[in-house]
Structure 1
Amino acid sequence: MTLYSSLFLIGLLIMASAFFSVAEISLAASRRLRLRQMADDGDAGAERVLRVQEQPGDYFTVVQIGQNAVAILGGIVGEGALSPYFTEFFALWLSESSALTAGFLSSFLLVTSLFILFSDLFPKRLGMAMPERLAIRVSQPMAIGMTLMRPLVWFYSRLADAVFRLLGLSSLRDDRITSDDILAMMEAGAVAGVLAAREQQVITNVFELDTRTVGSAMSPRDRIAFFRRDDADAVIRLRIAAEPFSTYPVCEGDIDHIVGYVDAKDLFQRVLNNQPISLADDSLVRKVLIVPDLLTLSEVLEQFRQAHEDFAVIVNEYSLVVGVVTLNDVMSTVMGDLVSPFDEEQIVRRDENSWLIDGMTPIEVVLHALELDHLPHAEDYETLAGFLMVMLRRVPRRTDSVSWGGYKFEVLDVDSYRIDQVMVTRLSQPVAPGAAVVAAD
């Protein structure tokens, strides 16, 4: 065999090996969602690739048979075709035995390098760059190869299946998509510039609805504007003017005995028509939705859907009212600062390393603002005030502070045992992870 015919044969073997490399990596890297979309658009090749992904055993068997056979042939042809020429070249300076060794090594390194570059690295990078398109292109030739090598494919596939069964492993591809997968895709999209950072945050907030409790979005008990059933017309009108809200709970005596709620639109209509306002009128007071404080935001949304309501009163295990929540509160949690300045009202960034935070700020909002993953004993509280109470083991007083996770949380103002303002400062020398420093007055 002449040098040119040997080089031509080596080139063919490299092309064959590159084909099998592309076939392997493109099938493994193809995104099932993208293939399904292409198949729904009428691409028969995409449908064929989807079927192969469900049972890829025979496909990869053909790939491995082809790659190993080509590699062996490439070594035989390369060594026999190129070694004599390298040996003759090195014989000009070396002894015969040394020239033979140098010629063999040079031939081996050259052929191996050509295979690594053109049948492995380049085709695999190409397959990763456009997996679906290449998987469709090679699917038909690979189907022909599986048919031609049916006996070998059957033999090796059954052996591989036996090994999987022996080890108790599954050879089926798991295509289930979890919320973590979607969030990772969103993060990658944001890094690539395909998804805006705020849009990514909205999607993240949607998935957090299943883990965030209703307490993180509610208006707490001390901020509820409510009416008593026997309030006079003048009292109702004054409260509407002083505390304008869209919905007001109606109580018998005190806030823990809520009998319903009244919509501000109904009150305004009576005011505009110069009609007296009496909450003893059952047509004005609507039935209120009561939900426990252990529900997640996702469960609250489902309660709203079933009751056809957008307002609910939240009670604890002792049937005491702890807050109220509206559909708008939940959606503001999802949309963040895209639609509501709520977070900005509760958290004011003073400078690069300090924040002024309302004590009733939900702990999830605090974590997000401070870029913290968690705070200790997170299951015992829902607000920043609760965090300080748990860490101090008592009702905090002014100047009390807690240092944790590289931040110092200092109480600035307390009003009737309620923590109004907390100064959070980033420490120059962070506290060791898991350690906390409590300073009490």
Structure 2
Amino acid sequence: MTLLQSLLVMALLIAASAFFSMAELSLAASRRLRLRQMADEGDARAARVLQMQEQPGDYFTVVQVCLNAVAILGGIVGEGAFSPYCTALLELWLPERQAQTLGFLASFLLVTSLFILFADLLPKRLGMAHPERVAVLVARPMRWSMRLFKPLIWLYSSAADALLRLSGLPTQRDERVTSDDILAMMEAGARAGVLAAPEHQAMENLFELDTRSVVSSMSPRDRVAYFLRDDPDPVIRARIAREPFSTYPVCEGDIDHVVGYVDAKDLFQRALNNQPISLAEEGLVRKVLIVPDRLSLAEVLEQFRQVHEDFAVIVNEYSLVVGVVTLNDVMSTVMGDLVGPADEEQIVRRDDDSWLIDGITPIADVLHALGLDELPQADEYETLAGFLMVMLRRVPRRTDSVALGGYKFEVIDVDSYRIDQVLVSRLPVPAPAGAVQAATVRS
């Protein structure tokens, strides 16, 4: 075989190896969601690639058979093509025996380098950069190859499956998409700039609805404005003016005996028409949704959907009212400041190293603001006030503090045993011992 013929065969072998390298990596790297989108848009090739991803055994068997065969042929052809020329060149300076040895090594390195660069690195980088596009382009040739090498595929696939069964390893890829997979994709999208920071946070909050208790988003008992069933007209009007809300629970005797709720729109309509307001009037007080305090926010949303309401009263295991929650409260948890009123901001950043936080702030929001993953005994409390009570093992008093996780949590204001404000400060990082000694010597 002449040198020109050998070079032509080498080029064909490298091209074949590059094709199978691209085919291998593109199928593995192709995103199923993107392929489904392409298939829905009418690309039949994307549908074929999806089928190959579901049963990739035959596909990769063809790839490995062809890659190994091409590599062996490339070594044989390359050694025969380049070794004589390398040997002849080295014989100008070296003895014949040494020149033959070094010529063989030189031809081996040359062929290996050509295959690594043009049949492995470049095609695989191309397949990684545009996996779906490459996968649909090579789908049809790969199907022809799978039909051509079907006997070999059956032989090697059967042997591989038998070995996997003997070792107890799975033979199929788990295609289930979990919430962790989706969160990881959103994190990657946020880092790439595809998702804005508020959008990313809203999506993360949405996935937390199953784990966050309704207590974390409710208005607590002491902040609930309610009416008694027998309140007279002047008392009702005064309370509306003093505490304007969209919904008011209606109680019999005290807050723990809720009989329904009244919509502020109905009260305003009567007030604007100069009609007397009486909660004993039939049809004014509506039936209220009562939910236990152990429900998650996702479960509360489902109950809102079932009864077509957006307001609920929360009770504990002793049937005592602990607070109320509205649909807006739940959406505020998801959307943050995009929905919540600015004058009720629970976390205020004072400077780079300190925050002023309301005691009833959900602990999940505190962790996010401080950049912490978790706090000790997290299953024993829902709010920052609860965290301080668990850590101190008593009702906190003003100036009480807890140092944990590189932060100091100091109680600033307490109102009737309820923690109003907590100052959270970042603790200074202790200086290394060597730096302290150096400072002492200089002083």
TM-score, scaled relative to structure 2: 0.95
Q: How does 1:360-371 map to 2 (within 5 A)?
A: 360-371=360-371
For residues 158-181 of structure 1, the C-alpha deviation after alignment (integer angstroms, 9 at most, x for no partner) is 111111211222222222111111
Q: Are the counterparts in 2 of residues 359 and 385 from structure 1 also a CA contact under 8 Å?
A: yes
Q: Are the counterparts in 1 of residues 328 and 339 from structure 2 also a CA contact under 8 Å?
A: no
Tell me the residue number matched to 1:436: none
State the distance in 1 between where 2:284 and 2:403 align: 51
State the distance in 1 between where 2:94 and 2:340 align: 82
State the distance in 2 between where 1:343 and 1:336 align: 13
Q: Are the counterparts in 2 of residues 356 and 421 from structure 1 also a CA contact under 8 Å?
A: yes
Q: Are the counterparts in 2 of residues 313 and 323 from structure 1 also a CA contact under 8 Å?
A: yes
Q: Are the counterparts in 1 of residues 26 and 131 from structure 2 also a CA contact under 8 Å?
A: yes
State the distance in 2 between where 1:154 and 1:120 align: 26
Q: Are the counterparts in 2 of residues 289 and 311 from structure 1 also a CA contact under 8 Å?
A: yes
Q: Are the counterparts in 2 of residues 53 and 173 from structure 1 also a CA contact under 8 Å?
A: no
Tell me the residue number matched to 2:146: 146
Counterpart of 2:67 in structure 1: which amino acid? Answer: Q
Aligned-partner SS, 1:318: coil
Q: Residues 355 and 344 from structure 1, CA distance in 2 versus in 1: closer, same or farther, beyond 3 angstroms?
A: farther
Q: Are the counterparts in 2 of residues 337 and 343 from structure 1 also a CA contact under 8 Å?
A: no
Aligned-partner SS, 1:424: strand
For residues 271-301 of structure 1, the C-alpha deviation after alignment (integer angstroms, 9 at most, x for no partner) is 1111111112231111100001111110000
Q: Which runs of 5+ in 1 are unaligned?
A: 431-441
State the distance in 1 between where 2:411 and 2:202 align: 31
Whether 1:357 and 2:375 are equivalent positions in the alignment is no
Tell me the residue number matched to 2:4: 4
State the distance in 1 between where 2:89 and 2:344 align: 78
Q: Are the counterparts in 1 of residues 214 and 294 from structure 2 also a CA contact under 8 Å?
A: yes
State the distance in 1 between where 2:358 and 2:60 align: 60
Q: How does 1:67-146 map to 2 (within 5 A)?
A: 67-146=67-146
Counterpart of 1:297 in structure 2: which amino acid? Answer: L
State the distance in 2 between where 1:288 and 1:228 align: 15
Tell me the residue number matched to 1:377: 377
Aligned-partner SS, 1:369: helix
Tell me the residue number matched to 1:259: 259
Aligned-partner SS, 1:397: coil
Q: How does 1:165-314 map to 2 (within 5 A)?
A: 165-314=165-314
Tell me the residue number matched to 1:393: 393
Tell me the residue number matched to 1:435: none
Q: Residues 162 and 321 from structure 1, CA distance in 2 versus in 1: closer, same or farther, beyond 3 angstroms?
A: same
Tell me the residue number matched to 1:411: 411
State the distance in 2 between where 1:342 and 1:113 align: 64
Q: Are the counterparts in 2 of residues 359 and 384 from structure 1 also a CA contact under 8 Å?
A: yes
Q: Which runs of 5+ in 2 are unaligned?
A: 431-443
Q: Residues 343 and 204 from structure 1, CA distance in 2 versus in 1: closer, same or farther, beyond 3 angstroms?
A: farther
Deviation for aligned residue 1:344? 6.5
For residues 161-216 of structure 1, the C-alpha deviation after alignment (integer angstroms, 9 at most, x for no partner) is 11121122222222211111111111111111111111111111111111111011
Between 1:194-203 and 1:162-171, the stretch displaced more is 162-171
Q: Are the counterparts in 2 of residues 288 and 313 from structure 1 also a CA contact under 8 Å?
A: yes
Tell me the residue number matched to 1:16: 16
Counterpart of 1:351 in structure 2: which amino acid? Answer: D
State the distance in 1 between where 2:174 and 2:344 align: 43
Q: Are the counterparts in 2 of residues 210 and 297 from structure 1 also a CA contact under 8 Å?
A: yes
Q: Residues 401 and 34 from structure 1, CA distance in 2 versus in 1: closer, same or farther, beyond 3 angstroms?
A: same
Instruction: Tell me the C-alpha RMSD between the 2 structures.
Output: 1.3
Tell me the residue number matched to 1:324: 324
Tell me the residue number matched to 2:56: 56
Deviation for aligned residue 1:31? 1.1
Tell me the residue number matched to 1:157: 157
State the distance in 2 between where 1:365 and 1:204 align: 12
Deviation for aligned residue 1:338? 2.0
Q: Are the counterparts in 2 of residues 343 and 365 from structure 1 also a CA contact under 8 Å?
A: no
Deviation for aligned residue 1:343? 9.0
Between the aligned residues of both structures, percent identity stands at 77
